[in-house]
């Protein structure tokens, strides 16, 4: 049994076998693989989508679910340490899925816990199940993970999903196009990571038609107002990073639009009816990926 804290801990072979397992769960999601087991979902920070996805995954595997969805209803509001909460819950559950607002919380929990920990997001740090569902969605829509043109759009400075995606794609020779306003450009450390790992990338400040027409994947992220020091700049850029149906007339046939959701306006609603829109299926894929991750961490055949 083992924990899943960050995508960086996963080798290429491991990623591919988890994706294959997720595909088997998609073909047959309802199983009794974990009949009689207990999965704890500890959400010290609320995240309804992620929690529902994990809890559905556990339920479809036949496990029972315990936990809390908000730190206000847990003993951490009484000042209990994370370690003590983890030690208590590990007396009851076979595996703990946790989300926490503090960075490194999952790593620490995995070091003190006698049962496996799955990181469902630790502050701005890591969210490996999101990355796995992104990979699954890319592989499923493109038929491969190798040699793809991937356009990352929006907040590339604070967006942890794009940073983890770059890390996970290092095994597959991607070509990345980073599209962000100057204030939210890809940080130097991640560009250094790309160069160190031979990942090809270029940078843009506008999502041009040419970029759209030459991409296999467009990964949109939210441009949040609170990230800007200059609100004039926010007003200027917020409309530049909106994707509309009229821009999708001459794309590659295999182009798919991804988004970690929730969106706030960066994808116009008319895109929803385009064949390239894939973000809702992407979220659904999270269920199968999380079934695969839970079984893997428990060393259960799937």
Partner 1 sequence: MKKEELLVAALKNGTVIDHIPSGLVFKIVDLLDLQHEQSSVTIGYNLESEKIGRKGIIKVADRFFSDEEISRLSVTAPNVVLNIIRDYEVVEKKTVVIPDELHGIVRCPNPKCISNNEPMASFFHVINKEERLLKCHYCEKELNV
Distance CA 99, CA 184 (A): 25
What is the CB neighbour count within 10 angstroms for residue 243? 24
Q: How far is CA 293 from CA 5, 7, 92, 212, in A?
A: 11, 12, 20, 33
CB 297 within 8 A of CB 118: yes
The token duo for 287 is 């269920």
Those residues with Cβ within 8 angstroms of residue 17's Cβ, 6 or more apart along the chain or in another chain: none
Which position among 48, 78, 229, 250 bears the catalytic label?
A: 78
Within residues 2-31, the interface with partner 1 by CB under 8 A covers: 6
Largest Cα–Cα distance in the chain? 57
Which CB atom, from 14 or from 83, has the smaller least distance to partner 1? Answer: 83
Q: Is 227 a catalytic residue?
A: no
Q: Is 78 a catalytic residue?
A: yes
Number of residues that bind partner 1 (CB under 8 A): 18
The token duo for 123 is 């502050």
CB of 99 to partner 1, least distance (A): 13
Within residues 113-142, the interface with partner 1 by CB under 8 A covers: 122-126
DSSP structural state of residue 153: E
Binding string, 180-219, against partner 1, x = CB under 8 A? ---------x------------------------------
Q: Is 127 a catalytic residue?
A: yes
Name the packing angle between helices 188-196 and 160-169 (round to 10°). Answer: 10
CB of 158 to partner 1, least distance (A): 13
CB of 19 to partner 1, least distance (A): 24
DSSP structural state of residue 102: S
Binding flag, residue 107, partner 1 (CB under 8 A)? yes
Which position among 2, 49, 236, 244 bears the catalytic label?
A: 49
Distance CA 126, CA 212 (A): 28
CB of 300 to partner 1, least distance (A): 29
Which CB atom, from 103 or from 200, has the smaller least distance to partner 1? Answer: 103
Q: Can you tell me which of 73, 81, 208, 239 binds partner 1, judged by CB under 8 A?
A: 81
Distance CA 242, CA 222 (A): 10
Report the catalytic residues. 49-50, 78, 99, 127
* Chain contacts with partner 1 (rule: CB under 8 A): 6, 81-83, 100-105, 107-108, 122-126, 189
């Amino acid at each position: 049994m083992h924990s899943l804290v960050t995508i960086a801990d996963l080798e290429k072979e491991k990623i591919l076998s988890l994706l294959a397992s997720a595909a088997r769960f998609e073909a047959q999601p309802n199983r009794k693989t974990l009949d009689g087991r207990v999965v704890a979902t500890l959400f010290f920070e609320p995240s309804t989508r992620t929690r529902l996805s994990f809890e559905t995954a556990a339920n479809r595997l036949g496990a029972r679910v315990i936990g809390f969805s908000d730190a206000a209803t847990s003993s951490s509001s009484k000042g209990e340490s994370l370690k003590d909460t983890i030690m208590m819950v590990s007396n009851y559950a076979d595996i703990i899925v946790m989300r926490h607002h503090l960075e490194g919380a999952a790593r620490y929990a995995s070091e003190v816990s006698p049962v496996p920990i799955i990181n469902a997001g630790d502050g701005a740090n890591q969210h490996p199940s999101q990355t796995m569902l992104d990979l699954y969605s890319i592989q499923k829509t493109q038929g491969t993970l190798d040699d793809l043109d991937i356009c990352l759009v929006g907040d590339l400075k604070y967006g942890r999903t794009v940073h983890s995606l770059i890390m996970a794609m290092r095994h597959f020779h991607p070509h990345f196009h980073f599209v962000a306003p100057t204030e939210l450009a890809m940080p130097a450390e991640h560009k250094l990571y790309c160069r160190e790992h031979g990942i090809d990338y270029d940078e843009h400040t506008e999502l041009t038609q040419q970029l759209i027409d030459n991409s296999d994947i467009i990964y949109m992220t939210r441009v949040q107002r609170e990230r800007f020091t200059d609100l004039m700049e926010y007003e200027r850029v917020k409309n530049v990073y909106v994707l509309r149906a009229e821009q999708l007339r001459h794309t590659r046939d295999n182009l798919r639009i991804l988004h970690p959701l929730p969106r706030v306006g960066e994808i116009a609603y008319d895109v929803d009816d385009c064949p390239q829109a894939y973000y809702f299926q992407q979220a659904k894929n999270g269920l199968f990926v999380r079934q695969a991750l839970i079984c893997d961490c428990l060393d259960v055949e799937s």
